[in-house]
Structure 1
Amino acid sequence: MDKRKTIIVWMDGKKTKVSKNDTKNNPMQSTYTNTEQAAAQESNNEIDPIPTYIRQNSLEEEAAFKKGKGNKNKLIKHIFIATMTAVLLGVGLGIFMLNMFTNIDANEVNGKIGSTGETTGANKGVTATDQATYTLKGLQAFVLQAGLFNDEANVAVVQNKFNDAGIQTMVWKRDDQYYLFANIAQAKDQTDDEKAAYKASDLETYAKKWTTTETNVTITDAEYNWLQNFHNLWNASLEKVSADQSLPSTKWEDWIASYPENAKNTAEFYQAVKENQSSISEASKESAPIVLLNIWNQFDQLVLK
């Protein structure tokens, strides 16, 4: 007796028993059954929701995330520090450069190079020993030139003619040439009267501008102050001479007496002027221009050279 195995399936929502042999013998029934099973399976799939899976980070991934975030914060911090450092350095450098150029400008105004000390004028008995490089201004005036010679012997010939006429002159040597000067004044037109007087004695002269350029000298503060006072006194004396007045001899005596103690760089000039102190005190209106020219020449030869 054959035992038939019964298979229970669901068709159209109803429970149905199907024999296994019947399925084999009836292909259509088998196909229908398989189709119904597939449909039922698909229907169940549509009814059952697809589960949602939530991905959780592992400890390694979370650590890597935190590490990346920390590196980013460190990078921002480094950039901020570098930026602030650059700003502070720039501001500091700017202030330093401003102070440096301000000091340079202030020194140039005072006529002093390479030193930040201020000059306050010459005082008797000043004993400064520190030296620095200073800029000494040049002097200028209009002179009455009586001749220009290459040979000193020829200068003497013309100079004697002026001496015979009672007119004093002086010789200024420059660039291996000899200039013979008879007078000096602030302006060219202030020499017209003297020029006319010389011409009346058959002595030819002509007015020309004469200058000595500024130069840098290494001296002490006290010596620089003393020379600055000389510069002012000489210009004041030139103004007197140009107005047919005598030299301010008292001021010259005070200036000579104010020479700094232990000064060495300007000692030759000081000695030369001191030896001519009597000439300054005794100078007349006629001789004053030549005295002033001689002092100027000594300043040029002993200080500016």
Structure 2
Amino acid sequence: MITVWENGKPVKLKVKETSGKNSSQLFKKEQAAAIQEEDESVPTFARLTTNTNKNMANKIKRKYLKPVVIPIFSALIIGSVLGLIMLKMFVTLDSEPTSGGGDIPISTVEKDKEDQKAQKGSSLVQLEGVQAYVLQAGVFNEEANAVEWKEKYANKKIPTIVWEKNKQFYLFAGIAETEAQANHLRQQLQKNELEVYVKEWQTAGIETDLSNAEHQWLETFQSEWNKSLKLLSTDEKLEIKAWKKIVDAFPKDTEDLSQLNTHIVENLDKLSEDNNKQVQGILLSVWHTYEKTIKKLESK
């Protein structure tokens, strides 16, 4: 029996009791229904949760993998390109260039030169320069003009030579060791109504490959030429025996110095003459041939 209020008045109601057995069965049914409903909803909820987690995981993977993958592929591409470039460079270095006709590698030519030097016993040596004062009779742009002017001096028994340098043609009519001696010679020529100018002239020294015999021969030549110029400038006679020794000592296994030696041999007798002006012309021409010889040596 329970009491409730209805319209402001207490009302007593009788409640029907439910047996324990029935109550227990009802509880079990309700519990089973709840469990069944829960069981039915769990698979669905689990599937939804699993898919969502996979999608989220994929997004996270893509988010973190993208900054890593791109640099890796970029590095691979750049590395491949640089590798091809380096390979090409090494191939180019390994391929030997050829000289001239394209049949003989330059390295082979250089090796042959080194072998020839070794056989000759040659080495890099220093040749000293030559210097003196000359009497310049003229300078011309055309060799023909210099040769024409040369005849004017030949008519007065004055030997001259034409010397080309820097694309100009110089006409020399005498030589002396010092500037004072050259001015003395100039005054003598002026008496013959020949106008000349004193000029310092020189042949620069060079470095070149020569055998020991070639080097010694050229040094002996230079020494005797300078000595002859000194004697000539003081009106003394040259020592012809010394020049003959130079000719006799010429290295037989060389061609580079042949032109100079031949020129000395052809003028050997004239060097012993008493004509001072004639000997000046010989020393000038020998000097000129010497310069052409060492220029060829330098260009080798």
Partner of 1:261: 252
1:198 aligns with 2:198: no
Shift of 1:201: 1.9
Shift of 1:284: 2.5
1:158-169 aligned at under 5 Å gives the runs 158-169=149-160
SS of equivalent to 2:213: helix
Distance in structure 2 (CA, Å) of the matches to 1:200 and 1:219: 46
Shift of 1:283: 6.1
1:74-93 aligned at under 5 Å gives the runs none
2:281 aligned residue (269, 279, 290): 290
One-letter amino acid of the counterpart of residue 206, structure 1? Y
SS of equivalent to 1:286: helix
SS of equivalent to 1:194: helix
2:239 aligned residue (220, 233, 248): 248
Partner of 1:218: 209
1:175 aligns with 2:166: yes
| Greater helix content | 2
Q: Is residue 174–residue 277 contact of structure 2 (8 Å, CA) maintained in 1?
A: no
**Which structure has the higher relative contact order (CA within 8 Å, separation 6+)?**
1
Distance in structure 2 (CA, Å) of the matches to 1:286 and 1:269: 21
Q: Is residue 134–residue 217 contact of structure 1 (8 Å, CA) maintained in 2?
A: yes
Shift of 1:174: 1.1
Tell me the C-alpha RMSD between the 2 structures. Answer: 1.9
1:123-162 aligned at under 5 Å gives the runs 129-162=120-153
SS of equivalent to 2:120: coil
One-letter amino acid of the counterpart of residue 146, structure 2? V
Q: Which runs of 4+ in 1 moved over 6 A?
A: none
In structure 2, list runs of 5 or more residues that go unmatched.
1-118
Q: Deviations over 1:133-192 (max 9, x none)?
A: 111111000001000001112112321221122211111111221111111111111022
Distance in structure 1 (CA, Å) of the matches to 2:187 and 2:175: 14
Percent of aligned pairs with the same residue? 31
Give the TM-score taking structure 1 as reference length: 0.55
Q: 1:299 to 1:283 in 2, by over 3 A?
A: farther
Distance in structure 2 (CA, Å) of the matches to 1:267 and 1:157: 30
Distance in structure 2 (CA, Å) of the matches to 1:247 and 1:171: 24
SS of equivalent to 2:180: helix
Give the TM-score taking structure 2 as reference length: 0.56
Further displaced range: 226-235 or 194-203: 194-203
Q: Is residue 246–residue 288 contact of structure 1 (8 Å, CA) maintained in 2?
A: no
In structure 1, list runs of 5 or more residues that go unmatched.
1-127
Shift of 1:232: 0.6
> How many residues matched?
179
Distance in structure 2 (CA, Å) of the matches to 1:197 and 1:265: 39
Q: Deviations over 1:255-288 (max 9, x none)?
A: 1111123223322322232222233244622211
Q: 1:283 to 1:223 in 2, by over 3 A?
A: farther
